[in-house]
Amino acid sequence: MTQVPSVGPKAGRREPYVSARPARATGKDRAYVRAAAPTLEAVAARAGVSRATVSRVVNGSPKVHPDSREAVRQAIAELGYVPNRAARSLVSQQSHAIALVVPEDITRFLGDVYFASIVAGITSRLEQSDYVLSLMVASQAPEGKMLRYLAGGAVDGVVVVSHHTSNHSLRQISELMPMVFGGRSAIPGVDAYVVDVNNVDGAAKATQRLIDRGCTNIATISGPLSMHSSLDRVEGWRRSLHDAGLMPGPVVDGDYSMLGGARAMREVLANYPEVDGVFVASDLMTSGAMPVVLERGLRIPEDIALVGYDDSPAVEACEIPLTTVRQPSEEMGREMADILLGVLSGDTDRPRTTIMPTTLIVRESA
Amino acid sequence: MTQVPSVGPKAGRREPYVSARPARATGKDRAYVRAAAPTLEAVAARAGVSRATVSRVVNGSPKVHPDSREAVRQAIAELGYVPNRAARSLVSQQSHAIALVVPEDITRFLGDVYFASIVAGITSRLEQSDYVLSLMVASQAPEGKMLRYLAGGAVDGVVVVSHHTSNHSLRQISELMPMVFGGRSAIPGVDAYVVDVNNVDGAAKATQRLIDRGCTNIATISGPLSMHSSLDRVEGWRRSLHDAGLMPGPVVDGDYSMLGGARAMREVLANYPEVDGVFVASDLMTSGAMPVVLERGLRIPEDIALVGYDDSPAVEACEIPLTTVRQPSEEMGREMADILLGVLSGDTDRPRTTIMPTTLIVRESA
DNA sequence: TTGTACGCGTTATCAT
DNA sequence: ATGATAACGCGTACAA
């Protein structure tokens, strides 16, 4: 679509618009004002055609004479013309921007490679479109700034990766524009697309690996049981065990942290000495749990086999190469963006929910 | 400034604008179209005043009769009116948005808590303004989409935290609008504000700590010497040593990674057995180096004292609580945003470069 | 204090 | 194929 030449360094002199320094503050305490950019009008004048024609070549309309087109192309290049976004949005009623809603605790969110990958996926998909991404932190006052911003027509759609945003504001947003959730399940009453990963299945695969290598006393170190993902992983673990006719070992909450993982492992060892396999619901927890096992003089995987989850950089912190479950986080992000873009371009029959598959990565710990 | 009521759930019926479902795709394969939002015009009609008056109360002009103001407030609330951003930008020539330029390797970037904190700081400052943040990945084609976007008037200013963006495009951007760098030094030829942390001083403090506790054979494990920050930290280390009249030990590149840290520590131990103190230029490297020391049966800090850098979550991975240097990353982000906002509001005499101080966090490893 | 009218830069609908 | 011309929604001199 829209094909406009790039703003090359030798964009040439901007005839009537030039100003010594391209931008400066006025004498008064007026706000900073940037140099006037060349407009359609200017290009038209230079090319000796009308604004309409320029608009046509900018938007790739087929019905324009090659000669005119060439003249316009020239003028655009010489002037370094770039369409004004605001004007375009105003008339087209589209901002060509989408918002990424993240939890208020943005540091923790961004610092987590899982989420970072999702964001990367989103941006990577967006890169090959002419949409841009705008960051919205679900602050204390979500009813306020964020809603006003979204309602102001600043974006055409929303992707939310936050787990914490209030259902209330989400519902309002979903009534305003298309919305897609990532890494969380649907919320009743909120009209949104959902892209999630199959936590149950991932956990089941991990547990099955333990079963396959002969473990019979299998425990799990879970995340906080208040989180959906934790629950699903416990569920998957339980399912594989059940299908194999095995008795489930203990479930210990490891808080999705390294220290928590270590603590949980100690607890497992203390209360369930016969343990010979553990499904640890995150690599980070595993990196804390593994040393505990090793310190006891137990061998991995011979005495106790360990399977992690995430295939995150935390695996590097493990002395024994970790068998783990990879989540397609970047693909998720890409899919989220793709869905939104699709809907925005009029594709009405996208599936409401997309479940992405996990992959078992076999290394040495199990 | 602009004070507009929030879009409450009971924003009331949008009289002439209502549509059953707030948004839907048209029959044709036209793009998704959202419901028409109430305009200034509508509010004016309902309040029985002119558009101009509504505009005045929306923008908090003092010269409007209390009665009118009240009537307008009413109407705005009832209609759930929110100013259209595009229209506003078009006339005011300001987008009230700023761009965050990040390196192409966005996963690595966002996954790093240091950068995540900076971003958090930026958003936190922006939250108390009416500016929004737009994410720009410095992709392979920086000359292309990004430049066009920025030149299109989509943002009023730019903050760049990337280390890799080409000087070329940066220069062009800096000619277009105000720009502030974070965590990197100024680039000749590029007109930008700089907010950086004093790496030299931080490293000097860390090393001084080692000196103060009696170490005399002090090595350093550095980051890649191609990076400015690495060089600065080595410089700080060297400076403290020099000031204390001590001979510098070896400098070993640990690649800013955990494995690299371990490898580097082994090298130090092998080639410099008399070592009794090491300044490790990142916590992550330290978390790799510490086990190496411990495995040798050496005590920390009695036999070898260790000081890290960053005060990152990686410190948790250290068995001995790590003495380290804290960087004010979130404050940096806030400062960056603050500077940009200041400049945009006409504040011409901000210092071109701001150096933020580091803090030594003393724990047990030194 | 309030309203009228014009302009911001584009797109799109008409004629031509 | 091309060119007037009318929106798009808002801010703001200027007039009243």
> Which bases of chain C are contacted by protein, using any atom under 7 A from a CB?
1-5, 7-13
Query: Would you say A199 and A236 are in contact if contact means Cβ atoms under 8 Å apart?
Result: yes
pLDDT band, residue B30 (cuts 50/70/90): low
What count of CB pairs under 8 Å joins A to B? Answer: 225
| Residues B273 and B203 grouped into a single domain | yes
Tally of residues, chain B: 366
Q: Which residue is nearest to nucleotide D11 (CA to C1')?
A: B91
pLDDT beyond 90 at A234: yes
CA pair distance B168, A332, nearest whole angstrom: 33
Asked whether residue B362 is domain-assigned, the answer is no
Quick: pLDDT tens for B329-338: 999 999 999 9
* Rounded Cα gap, residues B307 and B288, in angstroms: 13
Residue with tokens 């931008």: A23
* pLDDT at residue B18, as a whole number: 31
Number of structural domains found in chain A: 3
The bridge status of strand B251-253 relative to strand B218-222 is: parallel
- The spacing between the Cα labelled CA in A3 and the C1' in C16, in angstroms, equals 28
Find out whether B173 and B179 touch, Cβ atoms under 8 Å: yes
Question: Does the CB of B160 fall within 7 Å of any strand D atom?
Answer: no
pLDDT in tens, A260-285: 999 999 999 999 999 999 999 999 99
A3 within a domain of the structure (yes/no): no
| Mean predicted confidence (pLDDT) in A303-331 | 93
Task: Say whether pLDDT at B356 is over 90.
Answer: yes
Shared-domain flag, residues B176 and B103: yes
Question: How confident is the model over A44-81, as pLDDT tens digits?
Answer: 999 999 999 999 999 999 989 999 999 999 999 999 99
For residue B66, what is the domain's CATH number?
A: 1.10.260.40
Alpha-carbon distance of A256 to A262, in angstroms, equals 11
* d(CA B3, C1' C4) / Å: 25
Same domain, A71 and A131: no
**Average confidence (pLDDT) over B217-225:** 97
Give A147 or A357, the one with higher predicted confidence.
A357
Beta bridge partners of B97: B132
- In chain B, whose CA is at the least distance from the CA of A142? B6
A221 three-state secondary structure = strand
Residue A303: how many CB atoms within 10 A of its CB? Answer: 13
- Please tell me the predicted confidence (pLDDT) of residue A15: 31
CA of A51 to C1' of C13 (A): 14
User: Of the ranges B67-81, B260-274, B309-323, which one carries the lowest mean pLDDT score?
Assistant: B309-323
- Residue A161 included in any domain: yes
Distance CA B14, CA B11 (A): 8
Mean pLDDT calculated for residue range A113-119:
92
Q: Please measure the distance between the N-terminal and C-terminal CA atoms of chain A and give it in whole angstroms.
A: 51
Average pLDDT over residues A5-24: 33
- Judge if B203 and B164 occupy the same domain: no
Own/partner contacts of B55-58, CB < 8 Å, gap of 24 or more, are B58/B2, B58/B3, B58/B4, B58/B83
Strand D–CB B92 distance below 7 A: yes
Query: The domain that contains A114 carries what CATH number?
Result: 3.40.50.2300
DSSP secondary structure code for residue B177 in this structure: S
Question: What pLDDT, on the 0 to 100 scale, is given for residue B274?
Answer: 97
Amino acid B143: pLDDT = 62
- Same domain flag for A208 and A322: yes
- Kindly report which listed range (A184-198, A351-365, B82-96, B190-204) carries the lowest average pLDDT score: A184-198
What mean pLDDT comes out for the span B21-32?
46
Tokens of A132: 């841009």
Residues A146 and A183 in one domain: yes
Measured distance CA(A102)–CA(A195) in Å, rounded: 16
Tell me the pLDDT band of B3, cut-offs 50, 70 and 90. Answer: very low
Give the model confidence (pLDDT) of A143-181 as tens digits.
Answer: 678 888 898 999 999 999 987 777 888 888 999 999 999
Whether B232 has a pLDDT exceeding 80, the answer reads: yes
Q: How confident is the model at residue A26 (pLDDT cuts 50, 70, 90)?
A: very low
Segments in A133-257 forming alpha helices (H): 147-151, 167-176, 199-212, 228-243
CA of A92: nearest nucleotide by C1' is C11
Subset of residues 42-101 in chain A with CB less than 7 angstroms from any atom in strand D:
48-53, 56, 62-65, 67-69, 87, 90-91, 93
What is the domain extent for residue A59? 9-92
In a domain, B87, yes or no: yes
Nucleic strand C under 7 Å from the C-beta of A39: yes
Question: What SS3 class is residue A111?
Answer: helix
Backbone angles phi, psi at B96, to 5 degrees: 55, 40
Q: How many CB atoms lie within 10 A of CB B191?
A: 17
Q: Residue B218 — very low, low, confident or very high, per pLDDT cuts 50/70/90?
A: very high
Q: What 3-state DSSP class applies to A1?
A: coil
| pLDDT on residue B16 | 29
Same domain, A132 and A88: no
Average pLDDT along chain A: 88
Could you tell me if A215 and A108 lie in one domain?
no
Choose one of B47, B67, B92: the last residue of a domain: B92
State the best of A101, A106, A126 to mutate against chain B, taking most chain B CBs within 10 Å. Answer: A106
Do residues B159 and B195 make contact, with C-beta atoms less than 8 angstroms apart?
no
Distance from CA of A62 to the nearest CA of B (A): 19
Q: Is B4 part of a structural domain of the chain? A: no
Is the model's pLDDT at A323 over the cut of 70? yes
Is residue B125 one of the residues assigned to a domain?
yes
B365, part of any domain: no
> Considering chain B, what is the average pLDDT of its residues?
88
Q: Are residues A26 and A175 in the same domain?
A: no
> Is residue A311 assigned to a domain?
yes
pLDDT band at B80 (very low <50, low <70, confident <90, very high): very high
Residue nearest to nucleotide C6 (CA to C1'): B91
The predicted structure's pLDDT at residue A30: 58
Please check whether residues A137 and A203 belong to one and the same domain: no
Mean pLDDT of B234-250: 98
Burial B111-122 (b: 16+ CB within 10 A, else e): bbbbbbbbbbbb
**What confidence category does residue B104 fall into, taking pLDDT thresholds of 50, 70 and 90?**
confident
Strand order in the sheet with A218-222: A251-253, A218-222, A277-280, A305-307
Q: Give the phi and the psi of residue A144 in degrees, each rounded to 5.
A: -85, -105
pLDDT tops 50 at residue B105? yes
Give me the mean pLDDT over the B240-262 stretch.
Answer: 95
**Same domain assignment for residues A164 and A207:** no
H/E segment holding residue B52: helix B51-58
| pLDDT recorded at residue B11 | 34
Tell me which range, A39-48, A140-149, B312-321, is most confidently predicted by mean pLDDT: A39-48
* B78/B151 same-domain check: no
> Which uninterrupted H or E stretch holds B160?
strand B157-160
Q: Select the more confidently predicted residue: A306 or B6.
A: A306
Average pLDDT over residues A293-300: 95
Residue B317 per-residue DSSP state: G
CA dist B283 and B357 (Å) reads: 18
Q: Locate B60 and state its tokens.
A: 């908090």
Q: By the 8 A CB rule, do B337 and B126 touch? A: yes
Q: Which of B37, B65, B92 is the last residue of a domain?
A: B92
DSSP B82-108: ---HHHHHHHHS---EEEEEE-S-HHH
Are the C-beta atoms of A234 and A256 separated by less than 8 Å? no
Confidence at B12, pLDDT banded by 50, 70, 90: very low
Q: Which of A39, A58, A92 is the last residue of a domain?
A: A92
Name the token pair of B335.
Answer: 């400062």
State residue B96's pLDDT score. Answer: 94
Tell me which chain A residue has its CA closest to the CA of residue B87: A90
Name the burial class of residue A10, with classes exposed (0-12), middle (13-18) and buried (19+) by CB atoms within 10 angstroms of its CB: exposed
A96 touches strand C (CB under 7 A): no
pLDDT in the model for residue B142: 54
